Amino acid sequence: MKKRYFGTDGIRGLVGEAPITPDFVLKLGWACGRVFSRNLADGQRCSVIIGKDTRVSGYMFESALEAGLVAAGVDVKLLGPMPTPAVALMTRSQNADAGIVISASHNPYYDNGIKFFSASGSKLPDEIELAIEAELEETLVCVPSDQIGKVLRLVDAAGRYIEFCKSTVPEGFSLRGMKIAVDCAHGATYSIAPSVLAELGAEVLPLGVTPDGFNINEKVGSTHMDTLAEVVRDRGCDLGIAYDGDGDRVLFVDDQGSQVDGDQLLFVIAMHRLRQGRSDAGVVGTQMSNLGLELALREEGLQLVRAKVGDRYVRELMERQGWHLGGESSGHIICSDVTTTGDGIVASLQVLHALGGGEHKLSDELMKVPLLPQTMINVRVPPGTAVEEQPAVAAAVEDTEAELGQNGRVLLRPSGTEPVVRVMVEGRDAEQVETLCQSLAQAVEGALAAA
């Protein structure tokens, strides 16, 4: 069955426009409560954790979710502003039946969304999302008054999460002597990430740590890294770290001010694990992972297998492979032997541990994983259009692949969040890649116009 509301990572959109409205979110809370309560034993009460990022609309949607859940007889524990992976952690540690995050990740403040975690702290499987959508079609009926849920605010959640993050590196690990610029995107990590790094001994230069409800991701964070790069260069930092609005992804800037993406960070962590003798046979990436990462891993005797784009699909493929490291070039990095989901702070500590707390320069490590030129063009398409099935498009893809040979690859991927198909070409020659991508995008546009 095709989902009506759920996308790649929960439900997301413009605040005030369906489905991101207070009435829908109230009904969504009720529907979730009904589904999460189904398999509980008689007399056992369902419990759900709710966290949010720093958007002004988070207060409104927190209240709406809370009302819907308690109307379904669910007890609620509120965390307030907390990183998405902290909600996953607290869901597990509080023995809750599910966790909910109110966030639109790296999007501007006027967007918002709802993400979900299972009791184990993992993203919901498709069948649960479909069950929630089915429940949304039913009439909302409040449970009897003696069964209405209760609400509790957890006041020590931030401290618990800080201690958890520090526990993911070996005891005695120190960042003393390192100067680190940290950009928290005015988002959910604004008070937590600087504390974690400072408590491990680093000199921290914080950026993006004054949220006002409207400035989340505004020219800061992992999607706007120029300021961070400038601070790293001007202040003589060892490196810079950038999180997104909800803290589930991370990117770096090296000591020279060059931006470092998730593919490169995966390689750094993988090589550290290989040196320590605790590496798996490979790493899970996505369809968008750079071919340079695949080639660099192959040189070290490791495989790269590709999942569909989306950290939930990376996690699922990691489980099937029996591997513990995976992620996306956008900075979603999962170390499943440490935690259950993509966690920006935990991933950044894994990178810092791989660098020996400053003994090795990040720029030196990156010389071992030269990324290939990659060009991507978004082509707008009518919803539901299977572009890759158009004969003219298939022929154009075949021609492009033939020209690239073994030195590149082609990908056509429908977006999970907007009506576009992403046309991507990568190879060893940047000029060739740019030309081929433009030509392929034009072929897609021409095929759509002729259809």
Model pLDDT for residues 134-174, shown as the tens digit of each residue: 999 999 999 999 999 999 999 999 999 999 999 999 999 99
Model pLDDT for residues 2-56, shown as the tens digit of each residue: 899 998 789 999 999 999 999 999 999 999 999 999 989 888 999 999 999 999 9
- Name the least confident of 92-96, 284-288, 419-423: 419-423
Catalytic residues: 105
Asked whether residue 406 carries a pLDDT value surpassing 90, the answer given is no
Give the whole-angstrom CA distance, residue 301 versus residue 316.
23
- Name the least confident of 45-54, 297-306, 410-419, 435-444: 410-419
What proportion of the chain, given as a percentage, has pLDDT over 70? 99
- CA nearest neighbour of 106 among 307, 300, 260, 245: 245
Say what the pLDDT of residue 417 is.
64
- For residue 81, whether the previous peptide bond is cis, meaning omega lies within 30 degrees of 0, is no
Domains and their CATH numbers in the chain: 11-154 (3.40.120.10), 161-366 (3.40.120.10), 374-450 (3.30.310.50)
Model pLDDT for residues 62-93, shown as the tens digit of each residue: 999 999 999 999 999 999 999 999 999 999 99
- What pTM did the predictor assign? 0.92
Model pLDDT for residues 328-339, shown as the tens digit of each residue: 999 999 999 999
